[in-house]
Amino acid sequence: MAKKKSLSIKKKHWVNIHAPKIFNEQVIGETYTSDVDSMINRFLSVSLANITNEPQKQNISIKFKITGVKEGSLETEVYGLSMLPAAVKRLVRRNRCKIDDSFVVQTKDKKVVRIKPIVLTRGKPTSSVLSAMKKFVRAHIALRFSKLNFNDFVQEVINKRFHHDLLKPLKKIYPVAVFEIREFSVVPPEKKKVKILRPVQKQETKPETKKEEKPEKQEKN
């Protein structure tokens, strides 16, 4: 009589999910699973307010990708950021023009990222002014991205340093009420054939040299 094979059933258990180093590897969630490795390459979205303990950031969501297992816990990396649609709608008011854009840039550490900025003006500028503002925002973001590693850029967006550095020169074109990074996300490898906006390096202008004035010839009497 043939013996019956005993099936080994793995018991499910709770596994902690940790944020990356830029968020001090704090626990951002947990999952109930019997196979920890099966969770790799899955995604998790968390309110930024819960991570930073800043209630004013409750309208921003951070998306994490599970990348590996360490000491029985799951490790992650930042995959994207997005403002809640309701928060974006509240920004739009009367007598304001909205500049929405979407383009792909590359970081210093070769991360390809789709970024979606939004600009709201004070008043209603002409179409040529709007075009100039859009062009400036694109150029500034592409250049800044090329000089920063991805994690450094994430930190600059979260602490608003990136916003402040862009706003000052942008306001010289036209008064601005709001500038925000509405969304950004890492472009997956299978879609990396998308067109990347390359930075335009600023050329230093040489100071003009004054021509030496020749002394006037005195007329002989």
Quick one: tokens of 74? Answer: 């799951």
**Contact at 8 Å (CB) between 197 and 105?**
yes
Q: What is the pLDDT of residue 28?
A: 96
Distance CA 158, CA 103 (A): 20
- Ranked by mean pLDDT, the top range of 90-94, 132-136, 160-164, 187-191 is 132-136
* Domains in the chain with CATH codes: 14-83 (no CATH), 85-191 (3.30.479.30)
pTM above 0.95, yes or no: no
Distance CA 193, CA 186 (A): 13
Task: Answer whether residue 203 shows pLDDT above 70.
Answer: no
Tokens 């968020």, located at residue: 23
145-165 pLDDT, tens digit each? 999 999 999 999 999 899 999
Of the candidates 115, 128, 122, the one whose C-alpha atom is nearest the C-alpha of residue 197 is 115
Task: Answer whether residue 180 shows pLDDT above 80.
Answer: yes
**Contact at 8 Å (CB) between 142 and 105?**
yes
81-98 pLDDT, tens digit each? 999 999 998 888 777 899
> Residues, the chain, total?
221
Distance CA 154, CA 157 (A): 5
Distance CA 194, CA 114 (A): 10
